[in-house]
Amino acid sequence: MYKIIKRKPLNETVVELHVEAPLVAKKAKPGQFIILRPEEGAERIPLTVAGVNSELGTVKIIFQVVGATTEKLAHKMEGDFIKDFVGPLGMPTHLDGLKKVCIVGGGVGCAIAMPIAEKLHEMGAEVTSIIGFRNRDLLILEDEFKASSDRLFVMTDDGSYGEKGNVTAPLKEMLEAGETFDMIITIGPLIMMKFVTLTAKPFGVPVTVSMNPIMIDGTGMCGGCRLTLNVDGKKVTRFACVDGPDFNGYEVDFDEAMSRGRMYFEFERHAHEETCNLYKKEVQ
């Protein structure tokens, strides 16, 4: 059992938990993830490590309530326990040798991008961060990105905060002005990562994408995170959880990944509704 030391709502649907897991905290690096079960009999889900405190032995996770399991997890309070919390899993984000990097995060994907920005800043790299949200109410982690970035662009689709537009707008403007980066690292919705990659392609800047959004069981056994890459003109199959979650953005077949991701939408929606109804009955 793993104790929740701190709980912090970041907005109406996103929650930050600090979990006591000293062995995981000792080993975890940016880009890696854990597998957890909130309680006995619950589904196993992968969640990216959003930070660690090795002295306290705690691991920070940030998640959005989208299905039954995250709904159960969101009802956990400080002092409650998580049944299983296993990791770190996956390959760490490759950061060695990077001196100038652009981090592009979208929505709750910013929780994955943030520790990468922090690590690069700690290494002395020049960090430009672009974070995007649908509106002001969904904004998360702005102060954390400010602290770890030399430049920060905050974008909202409706213009209710920061600059109006999507995350590719400032990226394209910088690239067209002749700015170069050793790497663009983008993490967020698949459609966002696809267009960040397309924006960078004419300028030849390397792009790393995190395929966390398509992971399910986190071990490669379910096959749900199967990914098609185009490597040197040949199609190859990889699994986001065991071979990634980071990949070369120019090699990823985003359209196939998005099509597969929509297959489970109705199932997840019904499971979430059933779980919500259970909690409502308990309250009544």
Q: How far apart are CA 275 and CA 70, in angstroms?
A: 10
126 with 204, same domain? yes
Element (H, E) at 243: helix 240-243
Residues 231 and 122 in one domain: no
Looking at residue 277, its pLDDT comes to 47
Q: Which of 191, 229, 206, 22 is nearest to 107 (CA)?
A: 191
239 with 265, same domain: the answer is yes
Please answer whether residues 125 and 98 qualify as being in contact, where contact means their C-beta atoms are separated by less than 8 angstroms.
yes
What's the pLDDT at 284? 45
CB atoms within 10 A of CB 259: 11
Q: Where in the sequence is the domain holding 136, given as residue range(s)?
A: 91-210
* Residue 153 and residue 65 share a domain: no
The per-residue pLDDT string of the chain (284 residues; one tens digit each, 9 = 90 and over) reads: 899 999 999 998 899 999 999 999 999 999 999 999 988 888 888 898 999 998 999 999 999 998 888 899 999 999 999 999 998 998 899 999 999 999 999 999 999 899 999 999 999 999 999 999 999 999 999 999 999 999 999 999 999 999 999 999 999 999 999 999 999 999 999 999 999 999 999 999 999 999 877 676 656 666 667 778 888 888 988 887 777 789 999 999 888 888 765 655 454 454 444 444 454 545 44
Structural domain count of the chain? 3
Same domain, 103 and 171: yes
Q: Tell me: do 115 and 72 sit in the same domain.
A: no
Report pLDDT for 81.
Answer: 95
Residue 102's CATH number: 3.40.50.80
Return the pLDDT at 249. 92
